[in-house]
Amino acid sequence: MKLAIIGTGYVGLITGACFAEFGYQTVCIDKDEIRVNDLNNSKCPFYEPGIDNLLHKHLHKTKLLSFSSSLSQSVNDADIIFITVGTPTKRIENEADLSYVWNAAEEISNNINKYCIVVTKSTVPVGTTREIKNIISKKINEKNFDVVSNPEFLREGSAINDFMRPDRVIIGCENKKSEDIMKELYRPLYLIETPIISTTIESSEVIKYASNSFLATKISFINQVADLCEKVGADVQDVAKGMGIDKRIGNKFLHAGPGYGGSCFPKDVKAFISTAEKNDINFSILTAADKFNEERIIKITNNIISKANLAKGSQVSLLGLSFKPNTDDIRDSTSLKIAKLLQNKGITIKSYDPEAMDNAKKENIELILCSNAYEACEDTKVIIIGTEWNEFRALDFLKIKSANRNRVIFDLRNIYNAKELRDIGFQYFGTGT
């Protein structure tokens, strides 16, 4: 089976490298020739644990993987073509911008010359895959191709593991022929008994948005419970533990914090809301979760300013700039949103992040970038732990205390024990504790 992957972002690159690991001849295509050149030299454009090894192995050893900027040369002998281009939010109407998807469909229709399957793996609103079929069928007879929806559930920082050991594979198709070919493609996962769920195209597209929206809502839910816990003297970590043991609730995505960020949840939630609005559906649960999440950053920042008595000219420490650990991705990072709000108040930010500082420099936020956490914690009015990197989980607070006479810490991710830090003289504020 020969595969072509259009788009080499987080989804396309991981998908291509992992399909090569399954043993398939795979070409990944991108219009960005510099990016293609870097990738052909095993240079990954973003930090993702394990991707460098996979790229090197399949570019140079198995030679199953290659990168090209020419779609025409790459798709004409492919058996399955994956569309993995970006679907960013149109900032005005909240809906997904599908221009890259339509362009890919158009280019595919100009270049396929044998039966193949065109797969939407990008997160696309319900109805998109059928529209791709309409675009391609303007030039290609419908007998000579099929379309399939096959959404991904990859988390940044654990994307390779999520691909190799998924909870499930979702295949949205319209006939047995394409279903059988997709099941054959994922046979390596079948051997580890991964559930492969076949459904309609529309159901598959909705599963993706509904899954991300549910997880985002679960996060907003536990964050609202955290706010209540702070008022009534409860500990949200114990509450989450007591809730999560119930298998119907589950203990994942119940960690209270500054809210959800990243390149997926915020945009997918807004796109799903947009789809509901277009279909006159009341999705008030999701709009409430989204609105609460947006407002949470302002509430948390104002809380830090008032409790730490910050004023224009104050200096703070911010540990963690990426939207989550084990990634250099800063898109919709809650840490950077807090930094921006503090900067707008004339507050200086000393920060450190193990991977994301190069990306943070590109943002128009004044950050003093330090070489390690201890340097960032020196001589500031408050220390804010914004991202729960493992590197921040066992800091030497006696060492920090000797270089920081204010000793105020906001542990937004609850990675420390309040009593331990208070016992050594810190004023400790957690989230929901």
Chain residues 258-287 in contact with ligand UDX, contact rule CB under 6 A: 260-262, 264-265
Nearest alpha-carbon partner for 353 in 381, 332, 333, 378: 333
Which tokens hold the place of 279? 């279909």
CB nearer to ligand UDX: pick between 68 and 333 = 333
**Alpha-carbon torsion angle 387, 167, 97, 51, nearest 10:** 60
Residue 257 touching ligand UDX (CB under 6 A): yes
Q: Give the other-Cβ count within 10 Å of 250's Cβ.
A: 12
Q: Under the criterion CB under 6 A, does residue 292 sit at the interface with ligand UDX?
A: no
Q: How far is CA 352 from CA 171, 221, 373, in A?
A: 42, 30, 6
Which of 21, 146, 156, 179 contacts ligand UDX by CB under 6 A?
156
Shortest distance (Å) from residue 272 CB to ligand UDX? 13
Range 225-244, binding ligand UDX (CB under 6 A)? none
Contact between 426 and ligand UDX by CB under 6 A: the answer reads no
Q: Considering the candidates 18, 28, 229, 264, report the single residue annotated as catalytic.
A: 264
Which listed range, 167-175, 187-195, 253-261, 362-370, lies at the site for ligand UDX (CB under 6 A)? Answer: 253-261
Output the smallest distance, CB 13 to ligand UDX, in A: 14
Contact in structure between 410 and 427 (CB atoms under 8 Å):
no
Q: Which helix (H) or strand (E) holds 220?
A: helix 201-232
Q: Which residue is nearest to ligand UDX (CB)?
A: 264
Which is nearer to ligand UDX, 178 or 223 (by Cβ)?
223
> Residue 219, interface with ligand UDX (CB under 6 A)?
yes
How many residues lie near ligand UDX (CB under 6 A)? 19
**Which position among 108, 116, 169, 254 is part of the footprint of ligand UDX (CB under 6 A)?**
254
Q: With CB under 6 A as the contact rule, which of the stretches 95-103, 153-161, 303-311, 340-348 interacts with ligand UDX?
A: 153-161
323 near ligand UDX (CB under 6 A): yes
Does residue number 389 form part of the binding site for ligand UDX (CB under 6 A)? Answer: no
Closest CA to 98 of 284, 274, 281: 274
Q: Is 370 a catalytic residue?
A: no
Extract the tokens encoding 388: 């729960």
SS3 248: coil
Contact 351, 318 (CB under 8 A): yes
Instruction: Work out the number of other CB atoms within 10 angstroms of the CB of residue 138.
Output: 9
According to the binding rule CB under 6 A, does residue 392 interact with ligand UDX? no
Q: What are phi and psi of 239, to 5 degrees?
A: -60, -45
Structure tokens of 269? 């939630």
152 near ligand UDX, judged by CB under 6 A: yes
Options 153, 221, 397, 429; binder of ligand UDX; rule CB under 6 A: 153
Q: Decide: is 212 part of the binding site for ligand UDX (CB under 6 A).
A: yes
DSSP E strand boundaries for 9-132: 25-29, 65-68, 80-83, 116-120
The answer to whether the CB of 145 falls within 8 A of the CB of 173 is no
Which residues are identified as catalytic?
A: 264
- By CB under 6 A, name the binding residues for ligand UDX: 152-156, 212, 215, 219, 253-255, 257, 260-262, 264-265, 323-324
